Structures are given as C-alpha cells and as structure tokens.
Structure 1
Amino acid sequence: MEYVNFSTPPFPHFVVAGNALYRPGDIHGKRSNIGVFDLIFIEYGELYITDGDKTYHLKENDILILKPDSTHFGHKRVSMKTKFNWLHFRTFGDYHYSNEFHLMKEERKLLNSYSDRKNLVTLPLYKKLTHLESGEFSTCFTKLISANIDKYQQKETHEQALLSPLECQEVFLRVLSFIQVFQPQRNSNELLATNIMEYIMSNYHTHLTLESIANYFNFHPVHIIRCMKKEFGITPNKALTQIRIENAKKLLITSTLSINKISDFVGFTTPSYFNKIFKEYTGLTPKEYRNHKL
C-alpha cells in the first residue's frame, strides 16, 4: 500500500470535480505532471490505470488518487460500460509519499500558544469502499460535480458550481474523511506530557523547577511527574538535566566558549555542580569530554 502524507495546515483544497461515462473499448488518456491530485471513484464498470510504476485495475467502489508529479495513462481499454467520478485537488503545503503507514508523533504546540498546531493528514492512494460507505461517499461527491465527459454523446459539458467556494471546501473535506487513515488520538494526560517536554526543551537554559513547571501548566507537581513518567519514563527534573547535558555536549565540541560560560548558558547554577552532573552522565568531566571529541 502506498500513502500520501500532507503536513497541515494548510489543508488540501478543492479545485474541480466531474464525472465520465466510457463505452466498451474506451481508454483513459495520458497525462504528465498535471500539478493537481486527481481522485477517481468508480461507480460501476472498470478502469485500467497506470500511474508512474504502479498498475491498477479499478472496479466498482474503488478509489484511486493519481499523483500530480507523475505520468498516468490507461494501459488497457475498458470492456464494459463504465462510469466514474473524478476530482482535482491540490495543496500549497508540504507532502510526501510512503509505502507504509507509520504512527507519527504529531507536533503539538504549548497549551498557551497561539501558533498553528501542525498535524499530518494521511491518505491511501488506493482504497476500496464498502457498499455502505460508497453510498454516503457518492452523495457527498455528487454535490461537487460541475463537469461531465460523455463518450456516448461525444461531448464535454461544464456547468457553474451550485455551491459556494467555502461550501465546496467543506464538502471536499468530508469526501477526504472517507479515505483518511486516522492517527489514534492521544488523551489529555499524554498531550500534557508532550507539552511539558516541549516546554522544557524550549526553556532548559532558564531557572526551571518542578514547581515553576507545575505553576505554568496549572497542575499539581505530583500529576506532572505521573504524566511524564507514563509518557516518557522520566521525571521532569531528570528530563531537564538530560536536555541540559545534551546541549552542553554540543557546545563543548562546536564552540570555543569556556566551560563556565557553557555551564551558565545551559542553565546550571554553578560550574562545580555542572562538572559533577556532567561526569555522572558521561563518565568524563566537561574538559575531558571536549579534549576527547576534538
């Protein structure tokens, strides 16, 4: 199975949709680098499509998403009357293809942040709907159709969309929801632990304490510790120390800052305490570590 993964926002957006009626003996045309994703849904009949190095024989209730940056074509003529719906969509955001579906840790922003929360929308390039799904899917899809290709009548028609652009986008996202592979949702404690870890990673150089972290997130310190240990297997204080040590190690081998400066820069209260903790974690003093790595 192959998937396309969209980093959002921005979300993929609707361009245009239509349907096509093929006679026995008709074949899908060849197109290269069309610049939009082309979603095909077979209502009845069949369709032979090659997209890049993948070959498909699509039948009733099959969905296929063709890539915007490859060449696709019909590699065989259909043997029966065939009707399919097609939909073009694109994104101005990042996307990538993968051959396996991996559970990915969503990028979570801090609870008090006003920044966008980045997520991943994963769509399989091929999917077969159940009969129950296909009925609902087709109902949504039909609302978007404004173009028609009829091989029997040898004509193409284009009508004005019945829905507003905003309504089209709303229905389009509903269409994608039938296909999307959903990431399992994290519970509130898991999300809290992730936000705490991100907060520590962003503020390790300041005077952080368990109490200040608990006050920032407005939770009891015991609850903070419990969430962190369950999600990451580590207490907030241990996480803070490890993050400080890892950043100190980078500075020791990539900068000419003195050890005292590095100690202060990564948040240790005194150089002597920094030396003690650094040796506990690495087996070397900061000076020995720098000499060993350079």
Structure 2
Amino acid sequence: MIGSRLERLLGVRVREVQDLGMNHRWRLHRAVLADGRPVFVKSGKVGALFAAEAAGLRWLGEAGAVPVPQVLAVDEETLVLPWLESEPATAPAAERFGRELAALHAAGAESFGASWPGFIAELPMDNTPGSSWPSWYAERRVLPFLRAAVDRGGLSKDDARLVERVVERIEALAGPAEPPSRIHGDCWSGNVLWAGGRGWLVDPAAHGGHRETDLAMLALFGAPFLDRILAAYQEVSPLADGWRARVPLHQLHPLLVHVVLFGRGYRSAVVEAARAALAAG
C-alpha cells in the first residue's frame, strides 16, 4: 500500500520498500525508486502534522544555512524526503554546524511563532504569532504543557506551582530582548543528522523563537562536540551575557513535553530546571 501511494505522489515506480518500524504515531520506511534513488518515508494518519513538518523544513531551507532535506512529496498521510546516509560526527563537521546554525538564526523571522500549525513529536503546539518572547514562551509553550503534564499525572500541584513561579518572573529571567530567530525548535542531538561532513537538521518544530532555545536543546541530551559547536557559533554570532545561566529556562518546555509524552520519569528534571531558572534570576 505504501508503495502505490509513493508512486502516486512521486510519479515514478517504486522498486522496494523496507519497513523501519514505528516512531511516535507514524511508521518509518526506506524506499528505493526505479532509478535507484533511496528515499525516507513517514506514513500515518496524523492530520496536519506532516504538512507542518514540510512547511518547517522548507522555511529553514530558505535561509541557505544549515542543510535540511528537500521535501519530495507530502500529503496528510505521507512525507517523503531524500535518504541521507548518516556518519559519525567529527570536530570539523561540528564547527561547521555551529557556524551554519548561527547563520540560520540570523535569517530571522517575522515574529515569534509561525504561520503553520505547530507540533513537537505528535503533540500540537500553539504557533500564534507574538511580539515579546518571554510572554510568548510562557503562554504558548510552558503553560499549555504544564497543564497537560499535571492532567496526565506527571507533575503534582506543588511541582506546577514551582513552574508557575518561573512564569511569573519570566520577564526578569529571559535576559536581554532579542529579535525573533529562525529556529529548529526541537534541536536535540537526535534531530541533527551527520552526513557528508555536515550536520543536517531533521524533524523540525520550526518557528520564530529565541536562538538560545536551539542551543539549550543541543545541551539537553548531549550533542557530540558540543563545545566545538558553541565556540564556532560564538565566533559568528556572540551570545548575550548570562546565556549559560538561562539554559534551564529554555530547557523547561522540552522537559515538560517529555513528561507529557513519557510520564513521571522526567518529573525531577522539570523540577531541577525550574529551580535552576529561578536561581539564575
């Protein structure tokens, strides 16, 4: 079935399809076209999710900075991208990625948010545009996922109150005001694919946001050669004073996402990030 759908979308014969298993609510496939080209395919009944991912990839690609896969085809049940042969990260590739990530962020955005629906994994996010990052981040990212985490039993009311204290002080905790950056939005190490001596961005939750968010996400689960990435980034686009102390603030949203997706196992990380964000202020 997936083969015939691909043939309809791409207008070429599909030689073979390999099932790579499930990821969240969709299946992954590697398909080989009649001309020998391999492609990467996501399939599933996910509503607007694939269209949002495609819009984010195209928008990131317009910057001509960090490479992103070309969208070959998309509909409500399928997303088709070129197949990238991954390789181990290297220090030179990490440094290049840091410079290119700085250039991507510098491409900017019209506002905080985006004109397409937001998703992180299978969870919807409110991308309604805003002009102030602290209030936008609190209202569109932190509070909705805090409520969901409490509703699903991942956080207690006392935990929620701690996070709410961060929200109450967010104007003071957010650091110097910056214009909207063009960010990946879910830039943990698993969403940076190393191929051809470069870091490619995949699986975006792209929107106009704060550039420190992408860097905090890279640190959250340990990107390879992170020190090289950050040093190269700083050479191109120096970060505002105090940025390291603000890392927990930017990690608070993705950690809340993990509580919603995976439960109380991430509760202590949320509490620690909230406490660290408050202490930094």
**The TM-score by the shorter chain falls in which range?**
under 0.3
| Higher-strand-fraction structure | 1
More helix by share: 2
After TM superposition, the score normalised by the length of structure 2 is 0.21
Structure of greater Rg: 1
